[in-house]
A and B are shown apart, each in its own frame.
Chain A
Amino acid sequence: MIRSVPRSRLFDGLYLAYLVAFFVYLALPLLVTAAFAFNDSPFPSLPWQGFTLDWYLADGSEGRTGLFHDDGLINALWVSAKIAFWVTLGSVALGCVNAVLFERLQFRGKEFLYLLMLLPLVIPGVILGVSILVFYSGTANEVSRLWGIELDIFRPGMTLVVMGQVTFITTLATLVIGARLRKFDPQLEEAALNLGATPLVAWFTVTLPWLLPSIFGAAAMAFLMSFENFNTTVMLTGSDTPLTVALFNRLREGSTPVLNAVALFLMVVSGLLAMLALRQNRGEQ
């Protein structure tokens, strides 16, 4: 607290009230969503009808289908997980390479390429999706029209979704891993080289272990961002819809407590992932 700054008691009180109001604003939508996942009523609204686990466990025999018996949602969850897996793999690998490129090497035009690397952050997600759709799907159409060859992987579907998400998640992974690499003392690597290690051995025994916490952090972040992404995904998705798109379609038809159940499930999973990433971060300090 800055002690010498003059403040009145009224001001302090108002400030405190503002803080409380702010955190209520922050928490309320999530608490409400979570609570209604357990309300024994077909609509997620008041009055409270009592506690139930039907929205997770009901098997459809009494007119209620819980999340774990809802094939559409489970399938979508699976699609999302597969997408997130490939996106994590791709963007973290690219992020590692980019981080080494920009933090350790000197070459002409580096400043310009670094700005290019940041570019996906300042392009709206919808546009990233649209441009990839126009180019790849358009090319597939042309190829099919001219030569009769079907390039199905460039039609809207999982491959395009993975490509679209890798586009911007790679930038984030590069920034996270690069920040850690910047703190690395290159003398450690030189010592390894002096002691007779080949550059490759030095990289795998000295530099990579140093980077590992940030690689885990970047992977957790990449998985979360991929799993939750909607704007890019919705433009590129085909018949196998990922979870966010499936939820959006359900929500347009009307809301049921099953949606709350999914929402709470997602919150818990991402909370755990975030905690994991945070713990890695703490270990690094």
Chain B
Amino acid sequence: MKSSASRLSLWLLLTPFLLWIVLLVLVPHIQMLRVSFQVRESWDTLAWGLEQYQNFFTESYYWRTFVRTGVMSLFTTFLTLLVAFPIAWYIAKMARGRSKGVLFLACLIPFWASELVRTYGWMILLRESGLFSSWLQALGWADGPVEMLYNDVAVIIGLVYNGLLFMVVPLVTTLDGMDENLVEAGYDLGGGHATVLREVVVPWAMPGIVSGCIVVFMLTLGSYLTPVLMGGKDSAWFTEQIFTQFITRFNWEQGAALGVLLLVLSSVMVWLGLKLSGQSLRKVMG
């Protein structure tokens, strides 16, 4: 009797979960994979083929953007880690009492605004008629308006800005749990700054570093607004091409293939990150 009741409750709870994961995640992704291997011969006949993937490799515009997006995302992730680490260290280890909470909250404030608002803020600052340009002219450092928007540096500034929160929070959480005696012991045993950082602090913070890097990399790779609005003519982003195929050209087959490629890239990078650092997804995310 009891076992059938607990079996019933298990199925009652399992059903919504399965409906969600199967209908909204698994089946749509399998269908996307299927569509990416379909070749449209006429308006109502389909055949199987690799045409979309061939297009990707033969047209340099596709794979160049792909590689560019991947490399720039990696660079952005690395830069975000460099920018965030000293801040996280200060909040976790040097700030005391009230100022600790206040600083931590201050890090969260920008994320009360959406990505669009944040990007818009940067556009107002950086563009030709923007604030930086006006200030430079007022100071006499520039003769005319200076365009600082629409280039790769602007895109990276915006992307790092978007990723910071997701790097600072896990870093502070892991560094908070570190026993300060470990650091002192490192120095007592004769280590310099670099040695202590490399041998004591970084290994301890590894779960936080990995989880921050994975989230920031994923967000950067999949971001659309920042590269589109802040990037120049030749700084295309891969998500932009997926968007173009689906919305402008109605070429779903090509769009699906590009989507699969992006998904493969992000999965491989996440997997590599976990393997290289010896972490598991459950530990890092859950």
Q: Which residues of A pack against B, CB within 8 Å?
A: 1-2, 4-6, 15, 18-19, 22-23, 25-30, 32-33, 36, 43-47, 93-94, 97-98, 100-101, 105, 107, 111, 113-128, 130-136, 138, 145, 163-164, 166-167, 170, 175, 227-228, 230-231, 234-235, 244, 247-248, 251, 255, 259-260, 263, 266-267, 270-271, 274
Contacts and interface: CB of A to CB of B under 8 A. Distances in A.
A28 B28 CA distance: 41
B contacts with A: majority SS = helix
Contacts of A136: 28
Interface string B119-138: 01111110001110010000
Contacts of A1: 93-94, 96
B109 A124 contact: no
Contacts of B115: 228, 230
B117 A118 contact: no
Interface in B27-43: 27-29, 31-32, 35
Interface residues of B, number: 81
B134 A248 contact: no
Contact of A101 (B14, B180, B218): B14
A94 B124 contact: no
B195 interface: no
A113 B282 CA distance: 11
A122 B96 contact: no
A145 B117 contact: no
A137 B277 CA distance: 40
Given A4-B187, A100-B13, A132-B28, 20 more contacts: A1-B93, A18-B86, A26-B164, A27-B109, A29-B161, A30-B121, A45-B124, A101-B13, A123-B29, A126-B262, A134-B31, A163-B24, A164-B24, A230-B116, A231-B224, A235-B247, A251-B120, A255-B124, A260-B124, A266-B117
A267 B113 contact: yes
A22 B109 CA distance: 13
B121 A29 contact: yes
Given A124-B239, A255-B124, A131 B130 contact: no
A130 B259 contact: yes
A118 B285 contact: yes
Nearest to B215: A121
Interface stretch (B15-23, B47-55, B57-65, B202-210): B15-23
B277 to A, nearest CB: 15
Q: Which 9 A-B pairs have the closest CB atoms?
A: A29-B121, A124-B222, A228-B114, A131-B28, A135-B28, A135-B31, A131-B32, A33-B121, A46-B134
Contact of B223 (A4, A117, A231): A231
Nearest to B260: A127
A227 to B, nearest CB: 8
Contacts of B281: 115, 118, 122
Contacts of A145: 44
A231 B286 contact: no
Contacts of B255: 130
A155 B79 CA distance: 41
B17 A124 contact: no
B246 A263 contact: no
